[in-house]
């Protein structure tokens, strides 16, 4: 009974994440791809081979110059600890849930580079409990990998080769597919939503359509990720779907195409105000006219292009200052694109320094091209922001181009676990890295290795905002644990008060805008200084 | 600053002027119209034809060529000197020609020999001053129009870059000179006869300059390459690696040598994903502020009322490089350089090509001419972002670093090499892995430009064109031959010729010369040393800004430093190649 409640709770959380995540970005545990069809023993044996390869690759390429002995020791630490856990059905189930909880919770509450086996949108929850139970042994291998990578600076990641290609597509905003989200209903594949501009929309697929077969392969009782893998393919190739909607069953051929995402939103939108626990409260007031609000959901291949277009709109509207909101990433960002965006927003100067394995430091510089030139800029980050977002914020702040407003978000989940999150709190000594992918396991896997360490121009990691805002997200528990939560709430309230006391006094009207209000306050100050000079 | 005697050979020639309409020039090659000036008094336009070496007067209402002036040689530029006269820069033989365009029966003209090859000229708005630039010689000379007949008029001013376009500012005293390849801008004070300032903007291929409607701003069309991006499909697709730009800067910032020239800059990124605007070129601003520009790489004329929000784009002829407006501003006259034609475009609604006026006799193009069209055609690239010319400006180099995967790695940007004399410098790429020019062409189009694979015929046409690109020899510095001979002896003693082997001054192998790129590549194919004097940066990543630095700072292949008097001799020899 408890487990079922637990599971439901997790599904609830995931649905929140899935809204902002890429719902078809499937996970791929080692066990699933590293061919365990021949049984757990074979999987374990192959895993040993993989361990050797991974340690060798890390020893060769990791920026910190870790040696084989150190890495082997860390691997033994995690595997020996796992071995100590008695393998009983209950214990295994508990461990599976633990891994699941990690996979689900950590992306939402912890911002460091994630371990290899956590994906942006863990779909494991879509699997039935029975399926999870069937994967006991390989799952324990996965768990060991996760713990091992957590013990390596920069948290390397092991990604199936196909998944790595897809992640690169996402980063560059060049994902190839049909433009759908995928889920499971009545034990068949469904597309809960159809993305605008994708080939599924052009083919007239309705949201919620059931997909009974893909190129003749029945989706009945099949996991969503297998369906998603079959939907993916080269751009321009054709796929035949057997679909069922209100018009009945029929076959439909659709051509795979690029699915482009908008990464910069909001030049004509109002920003979301602070979360309202009481829906009857008046909505947050509008932004002052002269201040543009841009919400960036990803630092991707298209972001600079979109910012250029946004600049035209901002200038046409005669707006005098810009808020760039990096608090709610929708897809994983990339250091490369953080560099391109930082370069585009900065007029000449050092963005940061990159240090390679030999300790050679290279200054990464910006050219003189500068979007929003002359307009004061405020950047919002939160505990959800990606490392690439934090890198951008740090570069802009270190160059004096922007003020950074940092929102601490505290999630009170109905597990009763308040999480006081702080960007990079767990990696403060590690910082941010550029990664290079090295093929392992006969090219089936890509090992993403931190090969270059990024140092800030002058300051150290983590990036700390010029101002801090404190937000407590409250989710009403489906099954209450109010007694457990109450003391945590009290502790948070105290912390919140302490942090907010560090900010300059905020006018009441701006308080209603939450951290955006703090940004407005900074920008108004900058504008009045500019006018005075 | 040096002064040269201006030799004037005052000639009055009676040119044959045929009855209207005249027969069009029917040369053996494209006539290449390159410049246009509208003549309101005659309700016509004068167009300069580079290869035909002539000026033609075009009645754009009637759609016919009225008269032809010349030929004068190879025409580089033309402007209006007075209501009666046009002035022509002739690069071969180096001269200025003043043409009386009002004369009815004959095109009387006078020719002034010019000491260097003039490559561009502009007459100030009040008609009082003339500026003549010489690209290879890196000189600009400003003189009073009234002094054009004097043997020693004006003074020449040395520039730290090769000048391209120039524009008189509204005070008729200061001249803006743009880099022919990179992003430097110089301001010349013509009254004082001196270089007032040199500054840089993030740009290359500055192909158009125009004054804004009230004279407060200068508009520039150019391209820009962005560091940190590669020539991957995605970075090309999103305009991450290269953008096409219309930029305006404040005249007051240009005039103040201490001001940041970009302080009041407005940048408009031209084109969009799916439909880029490769190689923006000619630009003019209408009296009501409408910007009119040619996108030479995609054969379009574009105009925009709101400066960047609602461009209307109209297809014109091949490689439109220059544009002028009719006196009422309702029509744009577009010079299609590789089509020998003039497009008359109505600037209303979506824009309409009202007529296309031929300026030469259509005929089958040679392989080299077809290749030239491909070279300047951005439609060979993904979505039209760039042509070969975008990086290899006019067959030379834009001087930029580009991360283009040619050596198989990323984050290893390399200096764009000049293509002058390229047929003799196989193998290609910095690591020398492309054996033939055809290989390089195929690679550049599909990899760097992310275009579709070329047909064999397109490749051979491009190679035919590239084979015509020669090292410019006319601009060799007039250096003491004894010094050059001494430099040659040093070159031989140091055995530079082992890698840089005469006569092409390159060789087929790769060598470890003590340099490493960001990914550890330490073997490079030596670039040819021919035409080195036209370079603005040296070594694979442009780390040496001057030739002297290659030896002084980088100590390129030197076991011991050169003696103080050896360096000038060696560099003099190298610059003579």
- ipTM confidence score: 0.87
- Which among B577, B546, B550 has a CA at the least distance from the CA of B562? B550
- Which among B330, B131, B122, B302 has a CA at the least distance from the CA of B221? B302
Cβ neighbours of A315 in B, within 8 Å: 266
Cβ distance A364 to B240 less than 8 Å, yes or no, reads no
Instruction: Determine the Cα–Cα distance for residues B343 and B361; give it in Å rounded to an integer.
Output: 16
Cβ neighbours of B263 in A, within 8 Å: 374
pLDDT at residue number A393: 95
**Which tokens hold the place of A208?**
């919620």
CB contact at 8 A, B188 and B211: no
Q: Report yes or no: A373 at the B interface, CB cutoff 8 Å.
A: yes
Neighbours of A201 (CB within 10 A): 17
Q: Between A175 and B222, where is the model more confident?
A: B222
**Which tokens hold the place of A64?**
């910190």
Cβ distance A347 to B238 less than 8 Å, yes or no, reads no
Neighbours of A262 (CB within 10 A): 15
Q: How many CA atoms are closer than 13 Å to the CA of B46, on its beta-carbon side?
A: 28
**Which tokens hold the place of B90?**
């002739």
DSSP-based three-state secondary structure for B547:
helix
DSSP-based three-state secondary structure for A378:
strand
Q: Report yes or no: A174 at the B interface, CB cutoff 8 Å.
A: yes
For residue B228, the distance in angstroms to the closest alpha carbon of chain A comes to 6
Neighbours of B568 (CB within 10 A): 16
pLDDT in tens, B350-406: 999 999 999 988 888 999 999 999 999 999 999 999 999 999 999 999 988 888 877
Cβ distance B234 to A174 less than 8 Å, yes or no, reads yes
Cβ distance A340 to B237 less than 8 Å, yes or no, reads no
Cβ neighbours of B265 in A, within 8 Å: 373
Of B227, B233, B269, the CB nearest to A308: B269
Q: Between A425 and A442, where is the model more confident?
A: A442
pLDDT at residue number A215: 94
Instruction: List helix spans (H) across A151-233.
Output: 161-171, 199-202, 224-231
CA B53 to chain centre: 18
Cβ-based neighbours of B562, under 8 Å, separated by 6 or more:
B490, B551, B570
Q: Report yes or no: B268 at the A interface, CB cutoff 8 Å.
A: yes
Strands B300-304 and B312-315 turn out to be: antiparallel
DSSP-based three-state secondary structure for A311:
helix
Instruction: Determine the Cα–Cα distance for residues A223 and A101; give it in Å rounded to an integer.
Output: 19
Q: Between B108 and B83, where is the model more confident?
A: B83
CA dihedral over B6, B12, B16, B18, signed as positive or negative: positive
CA A105 to chain centre: 12
Give the single-character DSSP code of B453: P
Quick one: pLDDT band at residue A433, thresholds 50, 70, 90?
Answer: very high
pLDDT at residue number B496: 85
CB contact at 8 A, A391 and A346: no
Neighbours of A135 (CB within 10 A): 20
- Report whether pLDDT(B183) > 70: yes
Strands B85-92 and B94-100 turn out to be: antiparallel
Instruction: Determine the Cα–Cα distance for residues B332 and B292; give it in Å rounded to an integer.
Output: 8
For residue B298, the distance in angstroms to the closest alpha carbon of chain A comes to 20
pLDDT at residue number A16: 25
pLDDT at residue number A419: 43
Instruction: Determine the Cα–Cα distance for residues B513 and B522; give it in Å rounded to an integer.
Output: 7
- Which among B176, B178, B199 has a CA at the least distance from the CA of B188? B176
Q: Between A489 and B195, where is the model more confident?
A: B195
Cβ neighbours of A173 in B, within 8 Å: 234, 238
- Which among B166, B188, B209 has a CA at the least distance from the CA of B76? B166
- Which among B374, B434, B441, B381 has a CA at the least distance from the CA of B235? B381
Of B201, B263, B308, the CB nearest to A312: B308
Backbone angles phi and psi of A434, in degrees to 5 = -95, 140
Cβ distance A172 to B269 less than 8 Å, yes or no, reads no
DSSP-based three-state secondary structure for A81:
helix
Instruction: Determine the Cα–Cα distance for residues B52 and B70; give it in Å rounded to an integer.
Output: 9
Cβ neighbours of B250 in A, within 8 Å: none
Cβ neighbours of A344 in B, within 8 Å: 226
Q: Report yes or no: B492 at the A interface, CB cutoff 8 Å.
A: no
- How big is the CA angle at A330 (ends A324 and A331), to the nearest 5 degrees? 110
Quick one: residue A221, left, alpha or beta (phi over 0 = left, psi -120 to 50 = alpha)?
Answer: left
- Report whether pLDDT(A244) > 50: yes
Q: Residue A130: exposed, middle, or buried by beta-carbon count in 10 A (0-12, 13-18, 19+)?
A: exposed
Residues 212-231 of B with CB under 8 A from A: 224, 226-229
pLDDT at residue number A266: 80
Q: Between A23 and B458, where is the model more confident?
A: B458
Closest-CA residue of chain B to A173: B234
CB contact at 8 A, A303 and A330: no
Instruction: Determine the Cα–Cα distance for residues B177 and B195; give it in Å rounded to an integer.
Output: 10
- Report whether pLDDT(B424) > 80: yes
Neighbours of A279 (CB within 10 A): 6
Closest-CA residue of chain B to A308: B269
Residue labelled with tokens 């940066």:
B537
Of B224, B228, B239, the CB nearest to A305: B239
Q: Report yes or no: B306 at the A interface, CB cutoff 8 Å.
A: yes
Quick one: residue A503, left, alpha or beta (phi over 0 = left, psi -120 to 50 = alpha)?
Answer: beta
Q: Please tell me the pTM assigned to this model.
A: 0.84
Q: Between A428 and B420, where is the model more confident?
A: B420
Give the single-character DSSP code of B149: G
pLDDT at residue number B571: 87
DSSP-based three-state secondary structure for B492:
helix
pLDDT at residue number B2: 41
**Which tokens hold the place of A61?**
């390429």
Quick one: residue B299, left, alpha or beta (phi over 0 = left, psi -120 to 50 = alpha)?
Answer: left
For residue A312, the distance in angstroms to the closest alpha carbon of chain B comes to 7
Q: Report yes or no: B309 at the A interface, CB cutoff 8 Å.
A: yes
Cβ distance B227 to A373 less than 8 Å, yes or no, reads no
């Amino acid at each position: 009974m408890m487990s079922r409640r637990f599971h439901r709770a997790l599904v609830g959380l995931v649905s929140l994440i899935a809204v902002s995540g890429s719902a078809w970005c499937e996970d791929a545990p080692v066990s699933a791809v590293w061919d365990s069809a021949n049984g757990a023993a074979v999987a374990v044996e192959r895993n040993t081979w993989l361990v050797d390869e991974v340690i060798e690759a890390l020893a060769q390429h990791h920026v910190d110059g870790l040696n084989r002995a150190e890495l082997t020791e860390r691997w033994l630490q995690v595997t020996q600890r796992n071995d100590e856990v008695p393998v009983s059905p209950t214990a295994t189930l508990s461990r599976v849930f633990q891994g699941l909880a990690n996979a689900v919770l950590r992306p939402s509450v912890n911002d460091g580079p994630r371990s290899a086996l956590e994906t942006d949108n863990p779909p494991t929850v879509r699997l039935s409990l029975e399926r999870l139970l069937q994967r006991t042994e390989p799952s324990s291998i996965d768990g060991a990998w996760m713990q091992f990578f957590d013990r390596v600076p920069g948290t390397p990641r092991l990604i199936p080769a196909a998944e790595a290609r897809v992640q690169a597509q996402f980063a560059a905003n060049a994902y190839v597919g049909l433009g759908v989200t995928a889920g499971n209903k009545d034990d068949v594949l469904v597309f809960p939503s159809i993305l605008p501009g994708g080939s599924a929309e052009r083919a007239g697929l309705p949201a919620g359509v059931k997909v009974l077969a893909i190129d003749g392969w029945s989706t009945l009782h099949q996991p969503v990720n297998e369906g998603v893998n079959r939907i993916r393919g080269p751009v321009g190739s054709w796929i035949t779907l057997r679909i069922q909607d209100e018009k009945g069953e029929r076959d439909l051929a659709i051509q795979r195409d690029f699915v482009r995402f908008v990464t910069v939103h909001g030049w004509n939108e109002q920003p979301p105000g602070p979360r309202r626990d009481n829906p009857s409260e008046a909505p947050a007031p509008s932004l002052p006219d002269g201040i543009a609000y841009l919400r960036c959901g990803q630092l991707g291949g298209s972001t600079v292009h979109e910012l250029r277009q946004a600049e035209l709109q901002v200038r046409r509207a005669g707006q005098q200052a810009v808020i760039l909101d990096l608090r709610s990433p929708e897809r994983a960002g990339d250091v490369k694109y953080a560099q391109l965006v930082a370069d585009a927003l900065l007029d000449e100067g050092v963005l940061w320094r990159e240090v390679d394995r030999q300790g050679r430091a290279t200054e990464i510089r910006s050219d003189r091209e500068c979007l929003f030139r002359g307009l004061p800029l405020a950047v919002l980050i939160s505990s959800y922001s990606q490392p690439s977002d934090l890198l951008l914020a740090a570069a802009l702040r270190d160059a004096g181009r922007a003020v950074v407003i940092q929102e601490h978000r505290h999630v009170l989940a109905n597990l009763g676990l308040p999480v006081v999150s702080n960007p990079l709190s767990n990696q403060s000594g590690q910082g941010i890295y550029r990664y290079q992918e090295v093929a392992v396991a006969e090219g089936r896997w890509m090992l993403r290795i931190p090969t270059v360490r990024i140092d800030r121009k002058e300051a150290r990691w983590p990036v700390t905002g010029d101002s801090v805002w404190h937000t407590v997200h409250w989710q009403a528990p489906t099954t209450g644990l109010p007694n457990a939560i109450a003391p945590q709430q009290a502790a948070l309230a105290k912390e919140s008060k302490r942090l907010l006391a560090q900010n300059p006094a905020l006018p009441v009207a701006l308080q209603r805008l939450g951290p955006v209000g703090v940004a407005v306050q900074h920008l108004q100050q900058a504008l009045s200084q500019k006018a005075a000079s | 600053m040096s002064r040269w005697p201006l030799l004037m050979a005052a000639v009055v020639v009676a040119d044959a002027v045929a009855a209207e309409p005249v027969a069009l020039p029917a040369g053996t090659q494209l006539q290449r119209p390159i410049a246009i000036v509208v003549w309101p008094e005659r309700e016509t336009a004068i167009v300069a034809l580079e290869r035909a070496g002539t000026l033609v007067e075009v009645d754009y209402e009637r759609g016919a060529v009225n008269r032809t002036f010349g030929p004068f040689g190879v025409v580089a530029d033309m402007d209006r000197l007075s209501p009666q006269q046009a002035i022509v820069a002739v690069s071969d033989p180096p001269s200025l020609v003043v043409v009386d365009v009002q004369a009815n029966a004959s095109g009387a003209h006078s020719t002034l020999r010019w000491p260097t090859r003039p490559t561009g000229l502009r007459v100030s708005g009040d008609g009082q001053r003339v500026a003549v630039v010489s690209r290879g010689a890196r000189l600009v000379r400003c003189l009073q129009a009234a002094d054009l007949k004097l043997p020693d008029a004006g003074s020449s001013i040395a520039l730290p870059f090769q000048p391209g376009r120039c524009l008189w500012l509204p005070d008729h005293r200061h001249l803006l000179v743009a880099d022919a390849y990179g992003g430097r801008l110089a301001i010349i004070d013509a009254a004082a006869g001196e270089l007032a300032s040199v500054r840089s903007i993030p740009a290359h291929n500055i192909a158009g300059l125009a004054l804004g409607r009230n004279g407060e701003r200068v508009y520039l069309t150019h391209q820009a390459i962005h560091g940190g991006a590669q020539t991957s499909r995605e970075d090309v697709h999103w305009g991450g690696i290269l953008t096409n730009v219309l930029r305006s800067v404040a005249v007051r910032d240009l005039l103040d040598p201490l001001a940041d020239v970009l302080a009041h800059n407005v940048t408009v990124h031209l084109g969009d994903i799916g439909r880029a605007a490769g190689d923006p070129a000619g630009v003019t601003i209408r009296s009501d502020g409408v910007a009119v520009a040619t996108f030479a790489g995609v054969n379009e004329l574009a105009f925009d009322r709101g400066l960047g929000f609602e461009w209307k784009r109209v297809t014109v002829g091949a490689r439109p490089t220059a544009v002028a407006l009719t006196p009422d501003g309702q029509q744009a006259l577009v010079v299609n350089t590789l089509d020998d034609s003039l497009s008359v475009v109505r600037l209303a609604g979506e824009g309409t090509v009202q007529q296309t006026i031929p300026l030469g006799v259509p005929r089958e193009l040679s392989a080299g001419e077809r290749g030239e069209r491909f070279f300047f055609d951005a439609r060979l690239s993904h979505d039209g972002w760039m042509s070969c010319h975008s990086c290899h400006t006019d067959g030379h180099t834009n001087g930029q670093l580009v991360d283009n995967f040619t050596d198989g790695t990323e984050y290893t940007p390399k200096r764009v090499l000049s293509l002058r004399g390229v047929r003799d410098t196989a193998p290609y790429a910095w690591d020398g892995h492309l054996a033939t020019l055809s290989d390089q062409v195929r690679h550049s189009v599909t990899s760097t430009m992310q275009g579709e694979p070329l047909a064999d015929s397109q490749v051979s046409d491009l190679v035919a064109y590239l084979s015509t690109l020669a090292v410019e020899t006319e601009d060799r510095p007039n250096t003491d031959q004894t010094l050059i001979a001494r430099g040659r002896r040093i070159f031989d003693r140091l055995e530079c010729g082992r890698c840089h082997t005469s006569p092409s001054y390159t060789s087929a192998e790769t060598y470890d010369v003590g340099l490493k790129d960001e990914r550890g590549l330490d073997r490079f194919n030596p670039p040819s040393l021919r035409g080195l004097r036209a370079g603005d940066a040296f070594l694979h990543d442009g780390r040496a800004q001057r030739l002297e630095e290659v030896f002084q700072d980088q100590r390129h292949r030197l076991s011991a430093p050169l003696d103080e008097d050896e360096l000038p001799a060696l560099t003099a020899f190298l610059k003579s190649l």
